[in-house]
Amino acid sequence: MGLLAVVATALWAMLPAYVPNNAAVLFGGGPPIDGGRTMGGRRLLGDGKTWRGTAAGWVAGAALGVLLNAVRDPVGEVIGVSLPTFPLAALLALPLGAMLGDIGASFLKRRTGRERGAPFPGVDQLDFVVGALLLTALAAPGWFADTFTLSVLAVVVVATPLLHVLTNAIAYLLGLKDEPW
């Protein structure tokens, strides 16, 4: 695979895992997942992880995957790359895994004494990637192995934090997010 194909495949395959965070920011709110429960005097997850935000993120990511499948052929033709098609298991696992990775990170943040919204460099940028890749590897192992070659994975790991920082900074400037991370 040439460089363009590797980068295009990486971004395309990860798009259903990228939008859930942003959808959660837009549509989040309501009862927190942890119901206010604490562990060792600190919240289990905190008020930043809600049922509504999680559901919205999952649905938004899966819906984007359906849309990407519909436009895969024409887009691939324009850029001259054979882009991946998402099987149902991957459509569901990419955004759900992203949300679970983010929730897992909040659990770690609370255990390490970080308040809601406190930055956790590295973890904030990669939690959802790790979650999405792990759950997808479990849910759609064949598709995962075909799509995420070592070079594609390398691009995902390098490009994702950059994209994440960029989109969060934009969401912050637009007043959608309280902190730029």
* Binding window for ligand CTP (CB under 6 A); candidates: 43-51, 67-75, 80-88, 149-157: 43-51
Mark out the alpha helices in the chain (DSSP H runs).
3-27, 51-79, 88-111, 123-139, 141-147, 150-173
Distance CA 53, CA 144 (A): 26
Interaction between residue 100 and ligand CTP (CB under 6 A)? no
| Residues 49-73: b if buried by 16+ CB within 10 A, e if exposed | bbeebbbbbbebbbebbeebbeebe
Restricted to residues 86-125, the positions that interact with K ion (CB under 5 A) are 102
Amino acid at 119: P
Of 8, 9, 18, 50, which one interacts with ligand CTP (CB under 6 A)?
A: 50
Helix, strand, or coil (residue 55):
helix
Write down the least CB distance from residue 169 to K ion, Å: 14
> Given the rule CB under 6 A, which of 5-13, 44-52, 60-68, 134-142 is the region that contacts ligand CTP?
44-52
- Could you tell me how many residues of this chain bind K ion (CB under 5 A)? 1
Query: Nearest CA to 40 among 113, 125, 106?
Result: 113
Q: Does 96 bind ligand CTP (CB under 6 A)?
A: no
Task: Give residue 126's identity as a one-letter amino acid code.
Answer: L
Least Å distance between CB 48 and K ion? 8
Choosing among ligand CTP, K ion, none, which partner's interface includes residue 125 (Cβ < 5 to 8 Å by kind)? none
Q: Binding of ligand CTP at residue 25 (CB under 6 A)?
A: yes
Q: Is 125 in the site for ligand CTP (CB under 6 A)?
A: no
Q: How far apart are the first and last CA of the chain?
A: 33
Does position 164 interact with ligand CTP (CB under 6 A)? The reply is no
Angle of the 3-27 helix axis to the 51-79 helix axis, nearest 10 = 150
| Interface positions with K ion (CB under 5 A) | 102
| Interface positions with ligand CTP (CB under 6 A) | 24-25, 28-29, 46, 48-50, 53-54, 99, 102-103, 106, 109, 116-118
